[in-house]
Structure 1
Amino acid sequence: MKNDFINKLNAYTVLYAEDEDGIRNNIQEILTHLFKEVICVKNASDAYMKYLEYNPDLIITDIKMGNETGIDLLKKIRKSDSKTRIIITSAYTDLEYLLQATELHLIKYIIKPITQDKLMEALEAFINSYDTTKIYNLIPNWIFNFSKATISNSKEEFTLTKKENIFLKLLISKNRIITYEELETNIWDEDSIMTANAMRLFIKNFRKKLPKDFLKNIQGVGYKLVRD
């Protein structure tokens, strides 16, 4: 499995609903090694409560859990949420289930048994559902999510200011030194002035959210990223 793929998954939270203990425990073990946070539940009612509490990026749910169904759960979620990604797992290949599931805008429909290959294929589809230009691997285990304005590693997540978010995207997209003039033009707005003190404070706070020695000052010119 590619490290780049694993690093991208590590930026997200997943909610997994499955009523069969053996299946749930096996899949949970795999997901725990891939995602930033994994929330596991046994039924649709608990899944909905955890969805409201955690607002996960991805929901993986079985279609039938006792007297409840994953379809009803997802229909309830889709009434107000069209963005959360969804993967359904099921032992059923019934056309009615498939048609209902299609209306829920799924990432993938996995027919049980859930093999690792099937799961990884579905998770790759999950990653591909995003605009990949919005997810960057800074260095191993450090992820920059442009759309969420966050930098995360295996232990912490930092929320970027608007200026920090724009500056980091500029550094990555240009892949060269960003001059002081470019910094002032692109980052500072018309209502503020980029004084020397303001810039020093901005860079000092920005560096606290980056990998150590990741942002280098080129004296008298500007800043660039160091990825080696």
Structure 2
Amino acid sequence: MWKVIIVDDERRTRQGIITLVDWKRLGFEVVDTASDGYIAIEKYEQHQPDLIIIDIKMPKRSGIETIQVIREHDKAVKFLIISGYAEFQYAKQAIQYNVEGYLLKPLEEEELINYLKKMHTELAVERKDNINNKHDQFQRYIDLIIQQKISKEVRNFFQEEMKWNYYAMLLIRFFDKKQLDLADIVASIKQYVSKEEGIVFIRNGYAGIWVKESHAGSNTEKVYYSVYHSLKEKNLAFIGAVSNRVEQIESMANCYQQAESYLHESFFYEEEYLITPYTPMIKERSIDKSVEQLSDYKEKLLYAVEISDCNTFKQLMMEVIVLLAKTAYTETEIKQQITMLLTYINNKLTAQHPEVQDRITIKLTDIVSIQQSHTIKQLTSIVFEHLKALSSVIDADTSGLIVKRMIHFINKNYDKNIKLDTMAELLHYHKVYLGKIFKETTGEYFKTYLDKVRIKNSKRLLLKGSKVYEVAKMVGYTTPDYFHSKFKKYEGMSPSEYRKNKKRMGQEDS
């Protein structure tokens, strides 16, 4: 059972809360009550409760003042504030002291039950139902240690209960925080990390592990990869960082800061990577911030997109991002530069191709995707897909390029059964439209152009000695008779006559 103290200056309210819900069924026990803040602190020291439900406005000492005093010594105990309507805005001030929530008087049974269920789950995860009190104490002390506020009590605890020769700090950063249940993740990590290996905790949105390090300094990496598969099974995007090993508890604050500083640079590494003190720091850069070199890439990128040269603009974009990564730009500044570059390309294409303006304008979703990218690799992929989409629109809506693709297809596939329907299906345009732009661009109908390509190639094959019926099939005609009629139409003679004339003249067809 989780222990609860109820604090309110009105006796009726205290009794009302006690009788409002079935505490035992919800996994809680009301161990005491208090009528003001001073008594509440005494009761807290006596019972060491897990949850304190407290009125925000009381005589002698207010709820906020009481919470502030208790928080100086206990970061783990949970608070649920109750207040009247007039004090509701006042109650919000208590959020800075990490309260779980606040309820308006008169309390609603369902709302209180929902809070209690939520806190029951959190308490179970954070303390493992008090199976390991020593581990629970560490959770309470971790903030003090990192803040370098190590009391005698904290120091004695570690000296007596955690007689490790070396320590190291491992932090894991998760990228998709919207759907992140950190308490659940930490509970999963604890299944892979024994108390002999390290202590798992939560801080600043990170999953942290205080690792018992070896003299060789290899335990931390082993711990990371032991929880790696657990995180992968949850389809999480994450990256880890580990500090140097130290011998003194007092040095763990520096270890935390060291690991955290590595995570601030996680954008420059791939997901799931473990950054160590021995990892080459991508951000150890001496090049000043300068956009002069970027201007050289603008026109190159624009041209590559216009001609649909995916390989080129992918390579150019990678070069741009690598260039930015080697400068003094931060993650945010790099994303800003990329956004500006894409905006420039979009504006240029819009001016040059106004007929497709509505389809190439950079969208808010594109900018959001860039800003939310987790790593350099992900940013590169997002930008490439955007450029590819732009190129696709420009390509598809430019008649000349469409016809070039049609001609290229004919030259490569004239021996097959090609029709305008084939091209329409391939290019996703109506055959009437394709026939129209083909005639406007080449001056010939599609069928005429195809026949000429076939006849040209048939002449080459005829002079090589192939039989007429073989040549007909090799250039895409279904029957020798049909080939014969087409050949005579364009060359003024039959295939056999053409071959005889050429042999007699001793000339080769060019």
TM-score by length of structure 1 reads: 0.51
What is the percentage of aligned positions where both structures have the same residue?
28
> Quick one: which amino acid aligns to residue 52 of structure 2?
I
1:64 maps to which residue? 57
Once the two structures are TM-superposed, the CA of residue 37 in structure 1 deviates from its matched residue by: 4.5
Deviations 1:191-210 (A, max 9, x none): xxxxxxxxxxxxxxxxxxxx
Return the alpha-carbon distance in structure 2 between the equivalents of residues 28 and 119 of structure 1: 11
Residue 31 to residue 89, structure 1, CA distance change in 2 (3 Å): farther
Once the two structures are TM-superposed, the CA of residue 148 in structure 1 deviates from its matched residue by: 3.3
2:31 maps to which residue? 38
2:15 maps to which residue? 25
Return the alpha-carbon distance in structure 2 between the equivalents of residues 133 and 15 of structure 1: 19
Once the two structures are TM-superposed, the CA of residue 125 in structure 1 deviates from its matched residue by: 2.1
1:14 maps to which residue? 4
Once the two structures are TM-superposed, the CA of residue 58 in structure 1 deviates from its matched residue by: 0.7
Deviations 1:130-168 (A, max 9, x none): 353864xxxxxxxx643438xxxxxxxxxxxx9xxxxxx
Residue 111 to residue 133, structure 1, CA distance change in 2 (3 Å): closer
| SS of residue in 2 equivalent to 1:50 | helix
- Alignment root-mean-square deviation, CA: 2.7
Residue 55 to residue 25, structure 1, CA distance change in 2 (3 Å): same
Residue 96 to residue 117, structure 1, CA distance change in 2 (3 Å): closer
Once the two structures are TM-superposed, the CA of residue 14 in structure 1 deviates from its matched residue by: 0.6
Q: Is the 8 A contact 2:6 2:30 kept in 1?
A: no
Alignment of 1:105 with 2:90, yes or no, is no
2:464 maps to which residue? none
1:201 maps to which residue? none
Once the two structures are TM-superposed, the CA of residue 83 in structure 1 deviates from its matched residue by: 0.7
Alignment of 1:146 with 2:139, yes or no, is no
Q: Which moved more, 1:122-131 or 1:98-107?
A: 122-131
1:51 maps to which residue? 44
> Quick one: which amino acid aligns to residue 83 of structure 1?
A
The equivalences for 1:78-117 within 5 A come to 78-92=71-85, 94=87, 97-117=90-110
Return the alpha-carbon distance in structure 2 between the equivalents of residues 114 and 106 of structure 1: 17
Q: List alignment gaps of at least 5 residues for structure 2.
A: 135-160, 162-190, 192-510
Deviations 1:2-55 (A, max 9, x none): xxxxxxxxx211111011122211212346545245211111111011111111
Residue 133 to residue 68, structure 1, CA distance change in 2 (3 Å): closer
Q: Is the 8 A contact 2:83 2:91 kept in 1?
A: no
Return the alpha-carbon distance in structure 1 between the equivalents of residues 13 and 88 of structure 2: 24
2:330 maps to which residue? none
Corresponding residue pairs, total:
134
> Quick one: which amino acid aligns to residue 13 of structure 1?
K
Return the alpha-carbon distance in structure 1 between the equivalents of residues 71 and 97 of structure 2: 7
Q: Is the 8 A contact 2:81 2:91 kept in 1?
A: no
Return the alpha-carbon distance in structure 2 between the equivalents of residues 43 and 133 of structure 1: 29
2:120 maps to which residue? 127
Return the alpha-carbon distance in structure 2 between the equivalents of residues 52 and 134 of structure 1: 19
> Quick one: which amino acid aligns to residue 148 of structure 1?
N
Residue 72 to residue 133, structure 1, CA distance change in 2 (3 Å): closer
Return the alpha-carbon distance in structure 1 between the equivalents of residues 40 and 130 of structure 2: 26
1:192 maps to which residue? none
Once the two structures are TM-superposed, the CA of residue 124 in structure 1 deviates from its matched residue by: 1.5
> Quick one: which amino acid aligns to residue 115 of structure 1?
E
> Quick one: which amino acid aligns to residue 27 of structure 1?
I
2:296 maps to which residue? none
> Quick one: which amino acid aligns to residue 125 of structure 2?
T
Return the alpha-carbon distance in structure 1 between the equivalents of residues 122 and 39 of structure 2: 26
> Quick one: which amino acid aligns to residue 41 of structure 1?
A
Q: Which has the higher strand share?
A: 1
Q: Which has the higher helix share?
A: 2
Return the alpha-carbon distance in structure 2 between the equivalents of residues 134 and 79 of structure 1: 20
Q: Is the 8 A contact 1:32 1:38 kept in 2?
A: no
| SS of residue in 1 equivalent to 2:97 | coil
Q: Is the 8 A contact 1:31 1:38 kept in 2?
A: no
> Quick one: which amino acid aligns to residue 68 of structure 2?
K
